[in-house]
């Protein structure tokens, strides 16, 4: 009996060896690293649904991109870098066109690998800020904005409200962040800004393990009384922070979150009391767009989505859709450039680098007013695009104020310096050999 | 019929004391050896990179924990942190001495881990069982805190992660870094793991190992017979942490390529504890079984279920894997506390009398 079990086990292990599945030649393989499990699932699920549903909608409505079906496959990472690397190894051999790690930790791991394996990494508004330097990181893209743009934009908005750079002197700005690669990414820029503008930066790290227990951090915040709070949170950290902020009666209109702290569930945790909580955004909120109607018709109503109908087209869902739109447009651009319909990862890299989403194209996609036009180049893989602020009205996010630009002149030289430092500490870093098709 | 030791006479002490006294075992090991060397030439990079290499590394970590828990009877929950000590010391060593062969540094970094292990092993002289588990848990949290809060350990990197630099050795072969080949890394790991396992095998069947087992089985009796608990327990901590440290360094340098402190969290400690429990406490081969099982199960599920036509979501696979591992741990604790290793030896005993079983 036990022997039989042993034999069965051996056979099972044997089948594993032959289980590496080859990709089909007439498909566009887009793996999605998602996390529907674990402490970050609260943020991960809407993103995963949005990304999945947009690509599925293209398959259902248009039969793919220029007639080639997209093969969408999710790989569960649980926001765990180790599992993310495993996912990367798995999709690498299967002809993946582009990787979207959806975790700054995983992005940092795959950046050095991507240039060796020749697979582009699209870390949309997350990951390594310095990766915007296309000549140093030809295989990494972080449009439409880097974290440093985000930090700069928040400070820009605060400066505007305070009435000029002069008024910033002596102000206290608190920075509460997830103590991981993600939360720390913005610190160098904030420190630089604090030096330049003369405000005091107070740091409140939240360890990943204890992100649902932030009482001590908020106790310190109550004691320090910062004039503004800036948050770099993700997963279960966001709703906890919003709740704690309402508990100590922190003025919510002075509490800013980066775009990743802007989930509907995040703000809803504070309920009515969280009214005024503000986060950055770079795409439209709500469901009043033609393409969202298409997703509803072709995917959600057809039962091909996992999304909870009540949470359809919420803020993070739309973020996922926006991300998938970038992937799809990158593929389309690559097809245009190469004249092929079935492209490979190298073509995809060129496609992303030459991404140029115009006003007309947005209209064509039914995304007018949902996103701003964007353009990338060989030197600039981020674009440092305009962002705007959304405000929580107690029930949903509302646009507050106009689109504005982060302080690009200040961020760009710093990014350049950071990229040089990265190269120095990761020597020998490969020189860019990929041709530039921009000009 | 195939596996029978009758007719094999041992005529010298050396043959009587060899690790594999039975000829069939030796043949079996040779076959495994040939397979291990042949795998890279037939398998895909994914199989090597994501399955074989981490499996070997985790097996070594499981052996490390097995020394402490299975042989010396000291329950530890700090394995992940001890692996982290190895990884961070290897990273610092290679930053300070970039020209030294990385394999030497990996083996050296285990010494740092062993030192830390001995310090955190000191309480074991006074406290036992569950209470000791709590102090090792403290080690886990303290060391993890160090990895986050001491920027010197990660060279003041803004992201707080360590990134493996490219290192060459043996002429000009790239051993670590993103450009290193899957096959090179596999062979390096295989070499280290095999050599270390052989060394450990000889330790556990010698005087030191017997001391550990005496302490495990009844420490008062062992003490009365002249075993010093101080040296026995601390040497178990040292050897165990050394192995974990080497495994941790390899985990970063030959598998992950970069690491955040969260890579060495309590989750990793538990993962390795499960490997030891499922594989078999107090068995080296069991550590391999346990590592293969725990590491392989989610990957097998992910590959086999869709191949069988069962279309399930990526997250469901994880839920299933977690449930299966949980259920199996309970099953093994009730039915076969000695784990897969015991099943293996039962299988061998059955095979010995096959096809005419008796009794």
Residue A31: pLDDT band with limits 50, 70, 90: very high
Lowest-confidence region among A184-198, A363-377, B133-147, B325-339: B325-339
Residue B6 included in any domain: no
Q: What number is the average pLDDT over the span A231-257?
A: 93
CATH topology of domain A24-146+285-385+414-425: Rossmann fold (3.40.50)
Distance in Å, alpha carbon of A309 to nearest chain B alpha carbon: 19
**pLDDT-based confidence at B309, cuts 50/70/90?**
confident
Decide if A246 contacts A277 (C-beta within 8 A).
no
pLDDT at A438: 64
Say if the Cβ atoms of A89 and B265 lie within 8 Å.
no
Does B258 lie at the interface with A, CB-CB under 8 angstroms? yes
Residues β-bridged to residue B258: B163
Nearest to A266 by CA among A246, A286, A248: A246
| SS3 state of residue B38 | helix
A16 and B263 within 8 Å at the Cβ level: the answer is no
* Complex ipTM: 0.79
Cis status, amide bond into A431, omega within 30 of 0: no
pLDDT band at A208; cut points 50, 70, 90: confident
State the average pLDDT over residues A275-304. Answer: 92
The pLDDT > 70 percentage for chain B reads: 99
Q: Does B17 touch chain A (CB under 8 A)?
A: no
Q: Which two tokens stand for residue B352?
A: 């010995």
Q: How far apart are CA A232 and CA A180, in angstroms?
A: 10
Of B97, B103, B62, B7, nearest to B277 by C-alpha is: B62
- A76 and B265 in contact by Cβ < 8 A? no
Mean pLDDT on A199-223: 92
Instruction: For A325-355, write each residue's pLDDT tens digit.
Output: 999 999 999 999 999 899 999 999 999 999 9
* Contact of A76 with A36, CB cutoff 8 Å: yes
* B73-124 confidence digits (pLDDT tens): 999 999 999 999 999 999 999 999 999 999 999 999 999 999 999 999 999 8
Structural domain harbouring B216 = 21-263
Provide CB contacts within 8 A for B143, sequence distance 6+.
B78, B81, B82, B84, B85, B116, B264
Pick from A74, A108, A418: CB nearest B313? A74
CB within 8 Å: B315 and A82 = no
| Percentage of the residues of chain A whose pLDDT score is greater than 90 | 66
**A424–chain B nearest CA distance, Å:** 11
Q: Give, in order, the Cα–Cα distances in Å from A302 to each of A49, A57, A175, A297.
A: 14, 10, 44, 7
Residue B302 lies in a domain: no
Q: Looking at the domain assignment, is residue B315 inside a domain?
A: no
Q: How many Å lie between the alpha carbon of A163 and the closest alpha carbon of chain B?
A: 32
pLDDT of residue A424: 85
Cβ atoms within 10 Å, residue B219? 17
Q: Searching chain A, which residue's CA lies closest to the CA of residue B340?
A: A6
Task: Determine the residue of chain A that is closest to B261 in CA distance.
Answer: A180
> What's the confidence (pLDDT) of residue B162?
86
Residue with tokens 């050599």: B195
Chain B residue at shortest CA distance from A35: B315
- Do residues A179 and A150 lie in contact, with contact meaning Cβ atoms separated by under 8 Å? no
| pLDDT beyond 70 at A9 | no
In a domain, B306, yes or no: no
In-domain check, residue B40: yes
pLDDT of amino acid A80: 86
What residues form DSSP beta bridges with A435? Answer: none
b/e sequence A420-437, b meaning 16+ C-beta within 10 Å: eebbeebeebeebebeee
Give the model's pLDDT for residue A115.
85
pLDDT given for residue B359 in this prediction: 60
Looking at residue B1, its pLDDT comes to 66
Are the CB atoms for A108 and B164 separated by under 8 Å? Answer: no
Residue A399 bridge partners (DSSP): A390
Closest B-chain CA to A430: B179
User: Is B149 at the interface with chain A, CB within 8 A?
Assistant: no
Question: Closest Cα partner for A286 from A249, A314, A253, A247?
Answer: A314
**Domain ranges (residues) in chain A:** 24-146+285-385+414-425, 147-283+389-409
* Least Cα separation, residue A374 to chain B (angstroms): 28
- Cβ–Cβ of B165/A181 closer than 8 Å? no
Same fold, A24-146+285-385+414-425 and A147-283+389-409: yes
B95 interface with A at CB cutoff 8 Å: no
pLDDT digits (tens, 9 = 90+) for A412-433: 999 999 999 888 887 778 888 8
Task: Give the length of chain A.
Answer: 439
Closest-CA residue of B relative to A74 is B314
Alpha-carbon A44 to chain mean position: 11
pLDDT tens readout for residues B275-291: 999 999 999 999 999 99
Are A209 and B265 inside 8 Å of each other by CB?
yes
Given this model, what pLDDT does residue A114 score? 87
Q: What value does the mean pLDDT take over residues A237-258?
A: 94
Find chain B residues with C-beta within 8 A of A90's C-beta.
Answer: 46, 50
pLDDT digits (tens, 9 = 90+) for A61-113: 999 999 999 999 888 898 888 888 888 988 888 889 999 999 988 898 889 88
Sort out which chain B residues have CB atoms less than 8 A from A37's CB and list them.
Answer: 315, 318-319
Show which of residues 338-357 on chain B sit within 8 Å of chain A, judged by CB atoms: 343-344, 346-347, 350-351
Closest Cα in chain B, distance from residue A426 (Å) = 6
Does A13 have pLDDT greater than 60?
A: no
Question: At residue B55, does pLDDT exceed 50?
Answer: yes
| pLDDT of res. B49 | 87
Residue B188 has pLDDT above 70, yes or no: yes
CA pair distance A229, A255, nearest whole angstrom: 5
CB pairs below 8 Å between A and B: how many? 136
Mean pLDDT of A382-387: 92
The nearest CA of chain B is from the CA of A55 a distance in Å of: 16
Mean pLDDT of chain B: 90
Question: Does residue B348 sit within a domain?
Answer: no
Cβ burial of A304 (10 Å; 0-12, 13-18, 19+) is middle
Helix H or strand E encompassing B294 = helix B284-307
Q: Residue B120 to residues B45, B72, B275: CA-CA distances in angstroms?
A: 39, 15, 22
Residue B276 belongs to some domain of the structure: no
Q: Which position has the higher pLDDT, A173 or A16?
A: A173
Q: Would you state the CATH architecture of domain A147-283+389-409?
A: 3-Layer(aba) Sandwich (3.40)
Structure tokens at B354: 């096959």
Quick check: B5 contacting A, CB < 8 Å? Answer: no
Structural domain tally of chain B?
1
Torsion of CA A191, A100, A349, B255, to 10 degrees: 90
When CB atoms are compared, the residue of A78, A181, A209 closest to B318 is A78
């Amino acid at each position: 009996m036990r022997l039989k079990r042993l034999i069965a086990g051996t056979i099972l292990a044997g089948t594993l060896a032959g289980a590496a599945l080859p990709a089909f030649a007439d498909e566009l393989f887009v793996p999605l690293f998602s996390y529907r499990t674990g402490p970050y699932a609260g943020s991960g699920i809407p993103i995963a649904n949005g990304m999945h549903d947009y690509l599925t909608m293209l398959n259902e409505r248009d039969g793919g991109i220029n007639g080639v079906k997209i093969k969408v496959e999710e790989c569960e990472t649980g926001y765990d870098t180790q599992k993310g690397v495993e996912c990367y190894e798995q999709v690498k051999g299967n002809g993946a066109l582009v990787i979207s790690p959806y975790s700054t930790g995983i992005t940092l791991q795959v950046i050095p690998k991507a240039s060796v394996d020749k697979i582009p990494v699209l870390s949309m508004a997350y990951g390594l800020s310095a990766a915007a330097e296309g000549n140093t990181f030809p295989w990494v893209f972080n449009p439409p904005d880097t974290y440093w743009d985000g930090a700069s934009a928040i400070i820009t908005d605060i400066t505007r409200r305070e009435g000029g750079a002069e008024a910033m002197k002596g102000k206290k700005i608190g920075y509460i962040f997830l103590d991981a690669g993600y939360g720390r990414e913005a610190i160098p820029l904030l420190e630089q800004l604090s030096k330049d503008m003369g405000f005091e930066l107070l740091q409140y790290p939240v360890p990943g393990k204890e992100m649902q227990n932030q009482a001590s951090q908020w106790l310190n915040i109550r004691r320090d009384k910062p004039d503004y709070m800036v948050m770099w949170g993700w997963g279960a950290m966001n709703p906890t922070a919003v709740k704690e902020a309402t508990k100590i009666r922190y003025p919510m209109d002075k509490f800013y979150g980066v775009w990743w702290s802007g989930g509907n569930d995040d703000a809803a945790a504070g309920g009515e009391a969280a009214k005024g909580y503000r986060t950055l955004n770079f795409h439209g909120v709500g469901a009043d767009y033609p393409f969202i109607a298409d997703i509803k018709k072709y995917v959600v109503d057809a039962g091909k989505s996992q999304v909870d109908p009540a949470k359809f087209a919420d803020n993070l869902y739309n973020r996922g859709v926006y991300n998938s739109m970038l992937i799809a447009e990158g593929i389309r651009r690559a097809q245009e450039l190469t004249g092929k319909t079935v492209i490979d990862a190298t073509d995809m890299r060129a496609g992303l680098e030459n991404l140029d989403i115009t006003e007309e194209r947005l209209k064509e996609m039914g995304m007018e007013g949902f996103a701003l036009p964007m353009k990338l180049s060989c030197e600039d893989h981020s674009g440092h695009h305009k962002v705007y602020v959304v405000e929580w009205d107690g029930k949903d996010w509302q646009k507050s104020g106009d689109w504005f630009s982060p302080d690009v002149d200040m961020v760009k030289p710093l990014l350049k310096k950071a990229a040089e430092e990265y190269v120095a500490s990761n020597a020998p870093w490969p020189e860019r050999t990929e041709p530039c098709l921009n000009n | 019929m195939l596996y029978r030791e009758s007719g094999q006479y041992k005529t010298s002490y050396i043959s009587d004391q060899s690790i594999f006294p039975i000829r069939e075992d030796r043949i079996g090991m040779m076959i495994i050896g040939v397979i291990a060397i042949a795998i890279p030439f037939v398998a895909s990079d994914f199989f090597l990179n994501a399955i074989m290499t981490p499996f070997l590394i985790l097996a070594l970590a499981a052996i490390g924990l097995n020394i402490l828990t299975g042989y010396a009877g000291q329950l530890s929950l700090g394995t992940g942190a001890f692996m982290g000590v190895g990884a961070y010391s290897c990273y610092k060593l290679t930053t300070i001495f970039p020209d030294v062969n990385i394999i030497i540094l990996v083996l050296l970094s285990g010494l740092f881990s062993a030192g830390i292990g001995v310090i955190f092993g000191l309480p074991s002289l006074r406290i036992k069982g569950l209470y000791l588990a709590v102090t090792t848990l403290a080690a886990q949290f303290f060391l993890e805190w160090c990895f986050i809060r001491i920027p010197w350990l990660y060279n003041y990197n803004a992201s707080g992660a360590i990134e493996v630099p490219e290192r060459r050795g043996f002429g000009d072969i790239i051993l670590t870094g993103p450009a290193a080949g899957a096959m090179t890394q596999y062979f390096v790991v295989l070499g280290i793991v095999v050599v270390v396992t052989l060394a450990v095998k000889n330790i556990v069947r010698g005087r030191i190992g017997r001391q550990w087992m005496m302490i495990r089985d009844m420490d008062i009796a062992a003490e009365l017979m002249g075993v010093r608990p101080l040296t026995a327990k601390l040497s178990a901590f040292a050897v165990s942490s050394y192995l974990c440290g080497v495994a941790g360094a390899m985990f970063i340098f030959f598998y992950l390529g970069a690491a955040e402190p969260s890579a060495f969290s309590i989750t990793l400690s538990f993962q390795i504890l499960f490997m030891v429990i499922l594989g078999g406490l107090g068995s080296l081969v069991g550590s391999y079984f346990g590592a293969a099982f725990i590491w392989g199960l989610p990957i097998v599920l992910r590959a086999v279920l869709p191949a069988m036509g069962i279309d399930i979501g990526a997250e469901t696979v994880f839920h299933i894997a977690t449930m299966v591992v949980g259920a199996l741990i309970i099953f093994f604790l009730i039915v076969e506390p000695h784990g897969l290793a015991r099943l293996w030896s039962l299988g061998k005993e059955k095979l010995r009398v096959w096809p005419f079983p008796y009794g």
